[in-house]
Chains A and B, each alone.
Chain A
Amino acid sequence: MIPPILVFVGLWLYVAKIDRAMKASEDSRPKS
């Protein structure tokens, strides 16, 4: 059972990183 969980957790963390990067670039968006 460990290998599928490993893949799931790895991909989950990677998608969370993408999501954080997306939000960070949105936050730094120029307001003008």
Chain B
Amino acid sequence: MNPRLLIAGLLGVVMTGYIYSVPDARLFRDPAMARILFTHVPSAFVASIFFVVAAWAGLQVLGKGRVLHRARLHAAVELGALFAGFTMATGILFSRVQWGEWWHNDPRQTSFLIVLLSYLALLGLRGAFSDPEKRDKTTAAYAVALLLPAIFLTFIYPRLPHVAQQSFHPSTTIPKGELDTAYQIGLWGNVTAFLVLAFFVYGLRVRQELHSRALENLDDHLADSHHDSPDSRVRRPVAVRRED
């Protein structure tokens, strides 16, 4: 078994047991719902890391354009969008329970929705190209261009004083260390487990992309070599009439 999957599995089991043993948080409409923190925050953390990885791989693709960087770019964009989707889904669930509405028009919800939609748009755009070279270069340029807006909308905009005043979403609890110790342990344990699991899946996706591209190249190479070789002319199985 892959060691990263084993570690992620063990961490997952331990952390799942742990988070259901921590005491319920007070000041919540449904005190047990505070545990959503252990899924919501690690998802956002992992998504942000993949956005950075995608931009970094994008720069490499725009520069050297090696096949490994191309595979990393596609894997990082997909996983970033996937974990951003988890973040949004858990946030909407929390909004329903705590704030009473599925969509609360909270500035933080809205700004993160823009980030999520931007990466989903990138996936849509990528699918529109049939030429692999154009697909890679466009994805790379978009991923690089999107990093700064994503950072601004995720980390800076929600913390601007006039925006933070309107938002119900807590922004200072974790940076100021206002979480109980039990919740701190649960949170960072889950961040670790999510990171290990996410990078395990990332490794799988990169390997699959490399494998597919290697086979495509082999296909092209075989087609070219058949085309170039004088011995590989099409021979039709025609019957030769014997002239006696």
> A: which residues have CB within 8 A of B?
2-4, 6-7, 10-11, 14-15, 18, 21-22, 25-26, 28-30, 32
- Within B192-216, the residues touching A (CB, 8 Å) are 194, 197, 201, 204-205, 208, 211-212, 215-216
Total residues of chain B contacting the partner, CB 8 A: 28
* A21-B82 contact in complex given A3-B39, A11-B201, A32-B222, C-beta closer than 8 Å: no
Q: List residues of B whose CB falls within 8 A of some A CB.
A: 16, 35-36, 38-40, 43, 78-79, 82, 85-86, 89-90, 93, 194, 197, 201, 204-205, 208, 211-212, 215-216, 218-219, 222
Set of chain B residues within 8 Å of A2, measured between Cβ atoms: 93
Query: Known contacts being A3-B36, A4-B39, A7-B39, is A18 close to B85, with CB within 8 Å?
Result: no
User: Besides the contacts A4-B38, A15-B204, A22-B208, what 10 more A-B pairs have beta carbons closer than 8 Å?
Assistant: A3-B36, A3-B86, A3-B90, A3-B93, A4-B39, A6-B86, A21-B212, A25-B211, A25-B215, A30-B222
Q: Is the interface of A mostly helix, strand, loop or mixed?
A: helix
Assuming the A-B contacts A21-B208, A22-B211, are A10 and B82 also in contact, with contact meaning beta carbons closer than 8 angstroms in the complex?
Answer: yes
For B36, what are the chain A residues with a Cβ–Cβ distance below 8 Å? 3
